[in-house]
A = this chain, B = another copy of it.
Amino acid sequence: MPENPAVPLRAVCLLSGGLDSSTCLALAIRQGYECYALSIDYGQKNRVELESAARVAASLGAARHLVIAVDLRMLGQSALTSEIEVPKGRSSAEIGQGIPVTYVPARNTIFLSLALAWAEALGAADIFIGVNALDYSGYPDCRPEFIEAFERMANLGTRAGVEGPARIRIRTPLIDLTKAGIVSLAHELGLDCRLTHSCYDPGPDGRPCGECDACQLRSKGFKEAGLVDPLVS
């Protein structure tokens, strides 16, 4: 992490506008990076996401917020992009066991690839992604072994990786935190959690459903952190 450098190091931060990616961006900014926030319009049903991302990026003072479109509905189905229903009311034992229908094929691989291109163009060696492999939905592309393999590949497949000046690093500061730990960190960083969203299937007014895996994980996180979620209070 840069220590008050005269010229701040640049970082690309993937930002969905969810609690995790927003906390991750807040942390990168706190660590002194000049942050370039990247959101992907991939055909998600939940259009609130992109509005949340814009609000969070502005609120935290990202150097830039870019939304790039790639319609992943053309390539495969997921409950997040198609008519498949988002599961509701799963128990905490069920959440994280197996890969649920909300999985989007190769999503984080695609998102990190786009972040990698932008990082290379910006001269940024660091790419932040708010993945978490503890209180999570069981997606394979949130696990540390995937992130390590992506980083290795990124350094072999780019000019930046081959010629430098610095090795590309995929930064995952939340990967070992519980959801309660993420909520506490967000609180400590002063992130306004009202600006974030987490729900996989919000109502027409943007209100979280309260019953999908993401709502349940968020609710449990706030409860265990001893904090009130301003989004649902």
Q: How far is the CA of A80 from the CA of B121 in the complex (A)?
A: 14
Q: How far is the CA of A103 from the CA of B72 in the complex (A)?
A: 25
Known: A70-B68, A157-B146, A157-B150. A140 touches B120 (CB 8 A): no
Does A158 interact with chain B (Cβ within 8 Å)?
yes
Q: How many residues of A contact B (CB 8 A)?
A: 44
Question: Interface code A91-115, partner B: CB below 8 Å = 1, 0 otherwise?
Answer: 0000000010001111111100110
- Of chain B, the residue at the smallest CB distance from A104 is B117
Of B68, B99, B104, B160, the contact of A75 (CB 8 Å cutoff) = B68
Question: Interface code A59-83, partner B: CB below 8 Å = 1, 0 otherwise?
Answer: 0000000101111101111000000
**Further 9 A-B residue pairs, CB within 8 A, beyond A66-B75, A104-B117, A109-B153:** A66-B74, A75-B121, A105-B120, A105-B159, A105-B160, A110-B114, A140-B161, A146-B157, A149-B149
Which residues of the other chain, B, contact A106 by a CB distance below 8 angstroms? 113-114, 116-117, 120, 154, 157-158
Known: A68-B70, A161-B140. A116 touches B105 (CB 8 A): yes
Which residues of the other chain, B, contact A163 by a CB distance below 8 angstroms? 99
- A contacts, CB < 8 Å to B: 66, 68-72, 74-77, 99, 103-110, 113-114, 116-118, 120-121, 140-141, 143, 145-146, 149-150, 152-154, 156-163
* A99 and B162 within 8 A (CB): yes
Which residues of the other chain, B, contact A66 by a CB distance below 8 angstroms? 74-75
Q: How far is the CA of A149 from the CA of B104 in the complex (A)?
A: 22
* B157 and A109 within 8 A (CB): yes
